[in-house]
């Protein structure tokens, strides 16, 4: 069976921390594909200062060019409102019935998952691969183990913990650094720096 993981995020902008963890998941778990899934534009009312979805999508597309097992999907950016993870997973499960779907995400999501829409159904549609986030001191190994077990028992699933080294980089820090006129090009895939410069993003 083909094994594909959806890796969702705002990716505003995508950085080498994202690429690195995606590659670790691909390599260590012998996946066939990682599907990067940039979120759509938030509805008007919620509109925070997020870069337009098409630009974020194009940055991801350029960033993953050199790895043939990385792809990007425009599914969520083409929907009028923010998508629920459940809907995205349902769509891809129906589209590719013989693919084993995974959902790659930081531990922060797993801690919060009971509040998600249709959480029980989510675990019927995919298996979670979670990794720790640097700079989240609340997530001790003990709290991660507890939450993992709780989710596994409650939803009859197996959560895969990806014990990979992490790069302490966030899109927020990158945006702030650009605003302050600092260099960030070495934290970004090469093509992404060019797009940021061309469109004058995050100034």
Site for ligand ATP in 36-65 (CB under 6 A): none
Sequence-ordered alpha helix ranges (H) in the chain: 16-28, 53-63, 85-95, 107-112, 119-125, 141-155, 171-179, 190-199
Enumerate residues 125-164 that contact ligand ATP by CB under 6 A.
133
Q: Does 117 bind ligand ATP (CB under 6 A)?
A: no
- To ligand ATP, the closest distance from the beta carbon of 81 in angstroms equals 18
Q: Which is nearer to ligand ATP, 94 or 137 (CB)?
A: 137
Residue corresponding to tokens 């997530």: 139
Among 9, 42, 100, 150, binds ligand ATP (CB under 6 A): 9
C-alpha–C-alpha distance, residues 84 and 138, integer Å? 26
User: Does 72 engage in binding with ligand ATP (CB under 6 A)?
Assistant: no
71 in contact with ligand ATP (CB under 6 A): no
Q: Please tell me the distance from the alpha carbon of residue 39 to that of residue 36, in angstroms, as a whole number.
A: 10
Phi and psi at 196, nearest 5°, equal -60, -45
State the nearest-atom distance from the C-beta of 192 to ligand ATP, in Å: 13
Query: Among 5, 10, 129, 21, which residue's Cα sits nearest to residue 60?
Result: 10
Nearer to ligand ATP, 46 or 156 (CB): 46
- Residues interacting with ligand ATP, by CB under 6 A? 9-12, 17-18, 21, 105-106, 108, 133, 166-167, 169-172
């Amino acid at each position: 069976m083909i094994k594909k993981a959806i890796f969702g995020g705002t990716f505003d902008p995508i950085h080498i921390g994202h690429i690195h963890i995606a590659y670790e998941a691909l390599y260590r778990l012998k996946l066939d594909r990682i599907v990067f899934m940039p979120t759509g534009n938030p509805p008007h009312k919620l509109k925070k200062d997020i870069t337009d979805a098409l630009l974020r999508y194009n940055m991801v597309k350029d960033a993953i060019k050199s790895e043939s097992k990385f792809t990007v999907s425009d599914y969520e950016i083409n929907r009028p409102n923010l998508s629920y993870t459940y809907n995205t997973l349902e769509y891809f499960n129906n589209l590719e019935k013989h693919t084993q779907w995974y959902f790659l995400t930081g531990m922060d999501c797993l801690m919060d998952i009971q509040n998600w829409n249709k959480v029980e159904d989510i675990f019927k549609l995919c298996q979670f691969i979670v990794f720790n986030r640097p700079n989240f001191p609340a997530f001790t190994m003990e709290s991660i183990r507890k939450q993992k077990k709780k989710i596994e028992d409650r939803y009859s699933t197996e959560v895969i913990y990806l014990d990979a080294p992490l790069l302490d980089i966030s899109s927020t820090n990158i945006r702030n650094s650009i605003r302050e006129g600092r260099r960030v090009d070495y934290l970004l895939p090469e093509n992404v720096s060019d797009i940021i410069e061309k469109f004058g993003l995050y100034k």
